[in-house]
Chains A and B, each alone.
Chain A
Amino acid sequence: MATLSGWQERLEETALAPVRRTSSRFWALVAAEVAILGWGLYAYSFQLRDGLVVTGMRDRISWGLYIATFVFFIGISHAGTLISAILRVSQARWRTPVTRIAEFITVVALICGAAFVIIDLGRPDRVLFVFIYGRWQSPIIWDVLAITTYLTASIVYLFVPMIPDLALFRDRLKGRTSRWRAWLYRTLAIGWNGNAGQRRSLAAAIGVLMILIMPIAVSVHTVVSWIFAMTLRVPWNSALFGAFFVAGAIFSGIAILIVVMAILRRAYKLHEYVTEKQFLYLGYLLAAFAAIMIYANINELLIHGYKLEEGAGFHLRQLFLNDFAPLFWFYLIGGLFGPIAIVLFPATRNTRGIVAAAILVTVAMWIERYVIVVSGLRVPLMPYAPADYAPTWVEWSILAGGLALFALLITLFTKLFPIIAVWEVAEDHEATVSAFEVTSPAVPEMPAPSGGTYS
């Protein structure tokens, strides 16, 4: 088994490398992210001092970029759900190299999303009132409950499969890293040494979590959609919102995962593990969900467009022809039809093409959230001229700061924790190798699922 242990060695080295060595490029990146985050905080200080008047929101369009970004981040957080949970349940082995990052994107996205809700409050000093005086009947309280539960479950779901890898870090980095880091790995590895009892417990925990996190994740974005759907605004008054938002969330989650994986693959030389296959399969999923989104959009738009109730006509005109036309058409063509086209044509069906599709989708989904929020509020309720909304420099700066925070947290994570699920990838590799072995059947003790998609 010399090749196997050699392969294993290479895998472990790759996982340990970011923690062992830190290049100056890394520090430059962190500095840039901190700078942008600082700029966002500086802009926020204006908002704290003067109130939300520094934004472009007004009485008639009372939600804008902040809420759109909040929905966007919560949507992105479904990356982990799909990759880690759904694909794990269906035992799709190709997803293993990307699980760790998917789970971490989930946690970070939830934190950033929650931050934007608090930024949007008129009285952030009273945010604890939500917990002290919370009303069960309010969609915002459902939101708080769902996101809190999802955040906790995601943190646990990030931590539990990471335990054996943390033990690897603890053992391999002992004496070669700072004291606090050694303490961190020792504590978080909770005494893992791979004996049978521990492995049983781990398997049981992962098994429960991967099933549990799916309904939690579905409920989170459904509840976020209900913040809009529980109002009487014509564009939001739709029974389809829950499913629509969940599909959109998984869609944007896949896209951000592709983008982040592409960056990390380049930065940390993960080419052997995150191959073109991962990008291809994620690309297929992206295209599949684009098709689902097209279907959902057709439902929404056609049902309203056929009848043209009062308000619906105005809304469809502002989406397709007037104020929101450039953004909406970009979302339709670039964000929905684009990925399908890219995956369809062999010329673009490669890593580069799929990463381009993912970038298009990420941008398009943010635009779609923005359009839903702003165009929904813009339809006049009474006889008055429709108002206009344009984000100010404060809002753009805070958006940039939020994105920088997202990037910064992921960047710091890669320096602290194993970005590849080492033991799972190793396990898959052994299964692949032993599946092709012609020797005695006594060798493989790994559960080899039939019909697995191996390269």
Chain B
Amino acid sequence: MNATIRQTVRAALVLVAVGALTVALAAPAVASHVTVRTSMPSAGAVGEIVPLAIDLHTPGGAPLSGTMVTYYLHMSFAGVEGHALIGRAVTDDAGVASLRYQPRTTGLHQVRMDYLAPGATTVESVVATFDVAGGTQLVRSAGGIDIPGINPGLLMLVLGSVWLILLRVSFRLVAIARAGGADVPPEGDGPR
């Protein structure tokens, strides 16, 4: 009698242990099977807005919608390197998240996309690269005032007119000097 009970309990314990082990092993396995596909622009240029797309599906093939994807771009400036946040996107019903991004440097861009799958406890990332060609100047330095119409030409016009009038006055003085040789009229000659 006792031996039978002991055997049954041992079998049950083993079953429970195997069951727990299976479940324990299976849980992450379920999450780590999210299918990820990225779609990077093939020909982008500085200043053009390009989509950086990521596609998330469960292992069963169902799209993973409503998941926030955070995009980081590897950047380097003044000897400091790192990943900088460039945007966020949420996967839609088709499981696709797309960030519209305007590249600002040339060369190889390395994008890291982080997402937290539902049920998972750690953030997962995927890295993709794309190339960017050169473009035109996007930001310009303004510097100074520029009001159309109010330009130095207008100032010179006003100033020139004044000085021309002064010049005409000087001609009057010349006329006075030249008339100095003329005879003096008798008394009683009227003015102007």
**Residue in A closest to B189 when the chains form the complex, CB atoms:** A196
A203 interfacial by beta-carbon distance below 8 Å:
yes
Cross-chain contact of A153 among B166, B168, B191 (Cβ < 8 A): B166
**Cβ contact within 8 Å between B192 and A208:** no
Q: Which of A135-180 contact B (CB under 8 A)?
A: 136-137, 142, 145, 149, 152-153, 156, 160, 163
Q: B165-192 interface mask toward A, CB cutoff 8 Å, 1 = contact, 0 = none?
A: 1101110110111111111110011111
Q: Which of B139-177 contact A (CB under 8 A)?
A: 144-145, 151-152, 155, 159, 162-163, 165-166, 168-170, 172-173, 175-177
Given A156-B169, A156-B170, A216-B162 in contact, is the A195-B184 Cβ separation under 8 Å?
yes
**Cβ contact within 8 Å between B152 and A136:** yes
Within 8 Å CB of B169, what residues of A? 156, 160, 205, 208-209
Cross-chain contact of B179 among A156, A160, A198 (Cβ < 8 A): A198
**Cβ contact within 8 Å between A192 and B163:** no
A124 interfacial by beta-carbon distance below 8 Å:
no
Within 8 Å CB of A153, what residues of B? 162, 166
**Residue in A closest to B145 when the chains form the complex, CB atoms:** A137
Within 8 Å CB of B192, what residues of A? 199-200, 203
**Shortest beta-carbon distance, B157 to chain A, in Å?**
12
Given A197-B182, A202-B172, A203-B192 in contact, is the A191-B177 Cβ separation under 8 Å?
yes
Within 8 Å CB of B175, what residues of A? 197-198, 201
**Cβ contact within 8 Å between A191 and B176:** yes
Q: B3-15 interface mask toward A, CB cutoff 8 Å, 1 = contact, 0 = none?
A: 0000000000000
Within 8 Å CB of A163, what residues of B? 176
Interface residues of A, dominant DSSP: helix
Interface residues of B, dominant DSSP: helix
Cross-chain contact of A201 among B159, B176, B190 (Cβ < 8 A): B176
**Cβ contact within 8 Å between B172 and A196:** no
Number of interface residues of B (CB under 8 A): 31
Within 8 Å CB of A445, what residues of B? 188, 190-191
**Shortest beta-carbon distance, B11 to chain A, in Å?**
80
**Residue in B closest to A164 when the chains form the complex, CB atoms:** B176
A193 interfacial by beta-carbon distance below 8 Å:
yes
A28 interfacial by beta-carbon distance below 8 Å:
no
Q: A441-455 interface mask toward B, CB cutoff 8 Å, 1 = contact, 0 = none?
A: 000011100000000
How far is B152's CA from A145's CA once the two chains are assembled, in angstroms? 12
**Cβ contact within 8 Å between B182 and A195:** yes
How far is B155's CA from A445's CA once the two chains are assembled, in angstroms? 44
How far is B177's CA from A163's CA once the two chains are assembled, in angstroms? 10
**Shortest beta-carbon distance, A450 to chain B, in Å?**
18
**Residue in B closest to A157 when the chains form the complex, CB atoms:** B169
Q: Which of A197-234 contact B (CB under 8 A)?
A: 197-205, 208-209, 212, 216
**Cβ contact within 8 Å between B180 and A203:** no
Q: B55-82 interface mask toward A, CB cutoff 8 Å, 1 = contact, 0 = none?
A: 0000000000000000000000000000
**Cβ contact within 8 Å between B155 and A136:** yes
Given A156-B169, A203-B192 in contact, is the A194-B162 Cβ separation under 8 Å?
no
**Residue in A closest to B155 when the chains form the complex, CB atoms:** A136
Given A195-B179, A195-B184 in contact, is the A201-B172 Cβ separation under 8 Å?
yes
How far is B34's CA from A216's CA once the two chains are assembled, in angstroms? 82
Cross-chain contact of A212 among B162, B181, B182, B191 (Cβ < 8 A): B162
How far is B159's CA from A216's CA once the two chains are assembled, in angstroms? 10
**Cβ contact within 8 Å between A145 and B173:** no
Within 8 Å CB of B184, what residues of A? 193-195
How far is B182's CA from A193's CA once the two chains are assembled, in angstroms? 9
How far is B161's CA from A208's CA once the two chains are assembled, in angstroms? 13
Within 8 Å CB of A193, what residues of B? 180, 184
A190 interfacial by beta-carbon distance below 8 Å:
yes
Within 8 Å CB of B176, what residues of A? 163, 190-192, 198, 201-202, 205
Cross-chain contact of A190 among B155, B168, B173, B190 (Cβ < 8 A): B173
How far is B168's CA from A216's CA once the two chains are assembled, in angstroms? 16
**Cβ contact within 8 Å between A137 and B144:** yes
How far is B159's CA from A149's CA once the two chains are assembled, in angstroms? 8
**Cβ contact within 8 Å between B163 and A149:** yes
**Residue in B closest to A447 when the chains form the complex, CB atoms:** B191
**Residue in B closest to A194 when the chains form the complex, CB atoms:** B184
Within 8 Å CB of B159, what residues of A? 145, 149
**Cβ contact within 8 Å between B166 and A212:** yes
How far is B66's CA from A263's CA once the two chains are assembled, in angstroms? 94
A selection of 13 A-B contacts at a CB cut-off of 8 Å is A136-B155, A137-B144, A156-B166, A156-B169, A163-B176, A191-B179, A195-B179, A195-B184, A197-B175, A201-B179, A202-B172, A205-B176, A212-B166
Q: Considering the complex of A and B, which 6 residue pairs feature the smallest CB-CB distances, nearest first?
A: A191-B180, A205-B172, A136-B152, A197-B179, A190-B177, A201-B175
Residues of A that sit less than 8 Å from B by CB: 136-137, 142, 145, 149, 152-153, 156, 160, 163, 190-205, 208-209, 212, 216, 445-447
Residues of B that sit less than 8 Å from A by CB: 144-145, 151-152, 155, 159, 162-163, 165-166, 168-170, 172-173, 175-185, 188-192
